[in-house]
Structure 1
Amino acid sequence: MNRKLALKMSSVDYLASFLSTVKINLTAVTWHQYYVNGRTATLEKFLAPEVFDQLIWQVEEVVRVRDQLSPNTPVWLTETSSAWGGGAPGLSNAFVGGFMWLDKLGVAARGGISLVARQTLYDGCYALLDRDLNPYPDYWLSVLFKRLVGGRVLSLTTHEAPKTVRLYAHCYNEEAEDHFPGRPIGGRGGGCGGGGGRGGEDHFPGRPIGGEGLGVVEEGEVEDHFPR
């Protein structure tokens, strides 16, 4: 789903119009999603529950239209990150960006989205790798999520929890090896800035959390971490 602005209709109406007229079997219903403008994003926006909550109702709307007009067609989130326009320097590629990314993976899985494709692997401030191919924090989160989190999503109810608490439950990935979950690390330079970014200090620390981080061997493979 990529609405043409000239049509002057909402994205949901455009999706409904498309699905009601298409006569072929669709592989998937695909759409793009970002939370904020990368040129004006702030640290506060990257931590605001109301910003995170955008994705919840967006997923619900897309799935609702799919259920009505193209039942059983998979829904894929084929381009997504924290901020559009190349990402937010010092935020999208920083430790703080991981909160949005993990919440997005949890919301998407709970809402029935069967594929999430990160924008981008390389290039831009929302990349998973910097210009020297060193991983940013979201790369480690993606590796750990893929290795450890299974495809079965569990129902989870919270009572009187603040909106800043986001909880999701999955069965363990039975195909995963016995890796120690490790700790996400701060990213490295690249062209998108480290430092404090906009409106924040030390949210892009450039050092391991808890004194130890995951690493990459010369061949580019992620190191194994085992329980102690």
Structure 2
Amino acid sequence: MRIDLLGPVAVRRDDGTLVTPSAPKRRALLSALAVRLNRVVATEELIELVWDGAAPPTARAALQGHVAVLRQALGEEPTADHGGGHLALGTRDAGYVLTGEPDRVDLVRFAGLCERAGVLHPDGRHGSFGPYHPQAPYHPHVLDDERAADGPSPDGPSADPALPLLRAALDLFQGPALTDCGSALLRDRTSPYVTDLRLRALDRLADGLCRQGRGGELVAELTEAVTAHPARQ
């Protein structure tokens, strides 16, 4: 299973079958857990996000029902393989946690690629996501796969190694993050960090390409960024 958050929220099985939850609250719950992949999210925080700060008295029981449905959708059964290659929804004393490899959530993969390219939010690795900041541990095989996919660098051994990482990171976007996630509160808490990191990645990529005489490759993307963020130098 893979979860896309960088654009319209989408959930896909490994064979490509789209299984995105149709219920907005289930999309909100899964999105909130995916943003915090491999970390526990408190039950009260999830209730606040899923109900956009206006939870009814029955919210806790309803949340448990949504969790049960999502577990079934993720294939979490007693006989399921819960290895790192799969996503699984677990219960903890304080709340719930979605576990799995960072590459299975595009937002977490994006943050990890930016980090490995040396592009960070000014507040450091965790950024100013409020409680929502991606955290992607380094996986050498991911970098190896990217290099293999890119092929030999046309710029030789002195080429900037950050550029293919940043290109891969920016290519993950299919639109504004968390479109139709089912929670305006989650989107409002997450989008500023994602937008800022995306612009920093684009700026760093543009600088690197200009130094190689390849600045023209980003004219369209930079023009779009200037139009969307005219006050940003």
Q: Select the structure that is richer in helix.
A: 2
Q: Select the structure that is richer in strand.
A: 1
Query: If the length of structure 2 is used for normalisation, what is the TM-score?
Result: 0.25
Query: If the length of structure 1 is used for normalisation, what is the TM-score?
Result: 0.25
Q: Name which structure has the greater RCO, CA cutoff 8 Å, separation 6+.
A: 2
